[in-house]
């Protein structure tokens, strides 16, 4: 297992380029299985999750290739012959559960392993299963697998997501587009990843009304063309870099390849701390300059366009350098604070009560060994290490490799002192 050895403190200045979005790429890859033609998706990031999901898709007999040197992914939908997704792969990445909707949509039957646990949770899939049942699929569970079947045409149905769920929205749309006479999904997720996914299906020939709203109506079409698509940039990577650029008073960075419209109110939150945050006229780049003194700003996560839960660890980490006490409340995942005790080892003053992290700064951080526990917690430890005095060893960086393409190269290029070492 690799670790990062990070020397701090180092201000960062220069240009960062955002990679393609992991959370947008995965549903696009699943959508390709609904077509019997060849598909191609560009701007796919070189991340472990993409390799894992490619393996899951190949397990159905589908010829799928990740041309990693070109960040391009292709597949030939006509070669799919086994509607299954095995435990040993699904357990590595819970988004593999999208195979349930894709295989039911394409083949009318599926045998897919239930996803395993996660570093935080619970992360149930009850809405996925109830929604499929409401759509008319026959569902059963055997030996840790979901086995499901459905007819060529499902009668009109509707389902309400409570709470709204990105994964359940994606799975239900995948299962409906080729089979349901009419499926109305209420309280559908509004995340940009989901909007792009629906727009891509529409480009393939799907009949979906209400894209971009919280009520989707899908009507069956008999076949879909292959997908030819440019994946969106990673809004969470963009947000991570914007927050990282605020933490050292001498930092100033320009982050390229973003979409301002997908960042919700993050820029406003950043400005409230006293940082400068300016977009170019096209909204494709943003310049962030750290403030002399960070004003503590509390946030609470919410579904899009609220503050993303995938940025709460990064925001709490930044608040260790703010002057005063503030709160980070996660209303999506009640216990996504495994990073807090690790930051405590660096000297941070964070108290977690229920689903709120109370952060008091300004605390000078000092290097230590810290343990990554999940994707976003680990990038927060890297951000903290970059402003900590001395050497910090961030262990188990395979968590990072799941969600941040070439992170150490990108940060080293703008002044960080990070060395990857094989453990
Ligand atoms: C997606 O996970 C993302 N993953 C997560 O990003 C992200 O944190 C999450 O959405 C929230 O934005 C991908 O896109 C691959 P949800 P997902 O279903 O779909 C509850 C990262 O770091 N719920 O929208 O699993 C659930 O418990 C990852 O890149 C049910 O109750 O999230 C949660 O409280 C981590 N029953 C809420 O909905 C269900 O059947 C939102 O979860 C499903 C979800």
Higher pLDDT pick, 232 / 115 = 232
User: Would you say the CB of residue 45 lies under 6 angstroms from ligand 1?
Assistant: no
Mutation probe of ligand 1 site: the residue of 332, 374, 379, 399 with most atoms within 8 A of C-beta: 332
Q: Atom 31 in ligand 1: which residue has the minimum CA distance?
A: 124
* CB 129 near ligand 1, within 6 Å: no
pTM of the model: 0.96
Q: What is the pLDDT of residue 91?
A: 86
The CATH 3.65.10.10 domain(s) of the chain lie at 2-18+294-422, 22-220
- Span 158-185, pLDDT tens digits: 999 999 999 999 999 999 999 999 999 9
Looking at residue 120, what is its pLDDT? 72
According to the model, what pLDDT value does residue 386 have?
98
3-class DSSP string for the chain: CEEEEEEECCCCEEEEECCECHHHHHHHHHHHCCCCCEEEEECCCCCHHHHHHHHHHHCCCCEEEEEHHHCEEEEEHHHCCCCEECHHHHCCCHHHHHHHHHHHHHHCEEEEECCCCCCCCCCCCHHHHHHHHHHCCEEEEECCEEEEECCCCECCEEEECCCCCHHHHHHHHHHHCCCECCEEEECCCCCHHHHHHHHHHHHHCCEEECCCCCEEEEECCCCCCCCEEECCECHHHHHHHHHHCCCCCCCEEEEECCCHHHCCCHHHHHHHCCCEEEECCCCCEEEEECCCCECCCCEEECCCCCECHHHHHHHHHHHCCECEEEEEECCCCCCCCCHHHHHHHCCCEEEEECCEEEEEECCCCECCEEECCCHHHHHHHHHHHCCCEEEEEEECCHHHHCCCCCHHHHHHCCCCEEEEEEC
Q: Tell me how far the alpha carbon of residue 124 lies from the centroid of ligand 1, in angstroms.
A: 9
pLDDT tens string 324-342: 999 999 999 999 999 999 9
130-25-206 Cα angle (round to 5): 60
The reported pLDDT for the residue numbered 318 is 98
What spacing in Å lies between the alpha carbon of 166 and ligand 1's midpoint?
A: 6
Tokens of 236: 């969470």
**Residue whose CA is at the smallest distance from ligand 1 atom 41:** 165
Task: Report how far Cα 35 is from the mean position of its chain's Cα atoms.
Answer: 25
| 164 CA distance to ligand 1 middle (Å) | 9
| Atom of ligand 1 at shortest range from CA of 376 | 22
Q: Tell me how far the alpha carbon of residue 101 lies from the centroid of ligand 1, in angstroms.
A: 16
- DSSP bridge pairs for 322: 294
d(CA 161, CA 182): 17
403 lines ligand 1 (CB under 6 A): yes
Average pLDDT over residues 188-209: 98
Predicted pLDDT at 123: 82
**Is 296:323 a contact under the CB 8 Å cutoff?**
yes
To the nearest whole percent, how much of the chain has pLDDT over 90? Answer: 93
Q: Quick one: pLDDT at residue 117?
A: 65
Q: Which of 282, 166, 182 is nearest to 214 (CA)?
A: 166
**Choice between 295 and 1, residue whose per-residue pLDDT is larger:** 295
pLDDT tops 90 at residue 129: yes
The 10s digit of each residue's pLDDT in 350-392 is 999 999 999 999 999 999 999 998 889 999 999 999 999 999 9
Mean pLDDT of 116-141: 89
Pocket test for ligand 1, best of 114, 163, 329 (most atoms within 8 A of CB): 163
Distance 310 CA to ligand 1 centre (A): 10
The pLDDT value given to residue 371: 94
**Crossing angle, helix 166-176 and helix 22-32, to 10 degrees?**
20
- Top-level class of domain 2-18+294-422: alpha beta
Which residues form the catalytic set? Answer: 118
- Closest by Cα among 163, 27, 4 to 105: 27
66-76 residue pLDDT tens: 999 999 999 99
According to the CATH classification, is domain 22-220 in 3.40.50.2000?
Answer: no
The backbone torsions φ and ψ at residue 114, rounded to the nearest 5 degrees and listed phi first, read: -65, 145
- 86 alpha-carbon distance from chain centroid: 22
The strand order across the sheet containing 157-160 reads: 157-160, 183-186, 215-219, 207-209
Residue 263 CB partners (closer than 8 Å, separation 6+)? 235, 238, 239, 242
């Amino acid at each position: 297992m690799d670790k990062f050895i990070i020397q701090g403190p180092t201000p960062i200045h220069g240009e960062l380029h955002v990679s393609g979005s992991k959370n947008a790429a995965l549903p696009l890859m699943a959508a390709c299985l609904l077509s019997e033609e060849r598909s191609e998706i560009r701007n796919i990031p070189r991340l472990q999750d993409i390799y894992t999901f490619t393996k899951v898709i190949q397990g159905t007999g589908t010829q799928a290739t990740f041309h990693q040197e070109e960040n391009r992914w292709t597949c030939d939908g006509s070669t799919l012959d086994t509607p299954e997704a095995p435990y040993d792969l699904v357990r590595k990445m819970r988004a593999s559960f999208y195979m349930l909707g894709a295989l039911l949509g394409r083949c009318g039957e599926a045998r897919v392993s239930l996803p395993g646990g996660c570093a935080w949770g619970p992360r149930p899939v009850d809405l996925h299963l109830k929604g499929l049942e409401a759509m008319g699929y026959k569902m059963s569970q055997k030996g840790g697998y979901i086995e499901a079947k459905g007819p060529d045409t499902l009668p009109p149905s509707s389902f309400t997501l409570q709470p709204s769920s990105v994964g359940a929205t994606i799975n239900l749309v995948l299962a409906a587009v080729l089979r349901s006479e009419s499926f109305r999904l209420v309280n559908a997720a509004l995340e940009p990843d989901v909007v792009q996914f629906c727009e891509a299906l529409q480009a393939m020939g799907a009949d979906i009304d209400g894209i971009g709203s919280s009520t989707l109506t899908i009507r069956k079409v008999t076949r879909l063309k292959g997908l030819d698509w440019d994946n969106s940039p990673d809004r969470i990577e963009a947000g991570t870099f914007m927050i990282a650029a605020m933490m050292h008073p001498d930092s100033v960075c320009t982050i390229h390849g973003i979409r301002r419209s997908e960042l919700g109110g993050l820029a406003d939150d950043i400005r409230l701390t006293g940082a400068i945050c300016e977009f170019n006229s096209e909204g494709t780049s943003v310049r962030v300059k750290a403030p002399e003194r960070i004003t503590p700003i509390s946030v609470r996560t919410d579904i899009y366009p609220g503050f993303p839960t995938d940025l709460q660890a990064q925001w709490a980490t930044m608040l260790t350098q703010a002057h005063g006490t503030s709160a980070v409340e996660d209303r999506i995942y009640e216990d996504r604070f495994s990073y807090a005790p690790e930051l405590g080892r660096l000297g941070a003053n964070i108290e977690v009560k229920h689903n709120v992290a109370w952060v008091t700064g300004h605390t000078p951080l000092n290097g230590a060994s810290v343990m990554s526990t999940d994707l976003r917690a680990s990038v927060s430890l890297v951000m903290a290490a970059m402003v900590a005095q001395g050497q910090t060893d961030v262990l188990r960086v395979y968590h990072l490799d799941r969600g941040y393409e070439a992170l150490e190269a990108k940060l080293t290029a703008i002044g960080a002192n990070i060395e990857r070492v094989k453990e």
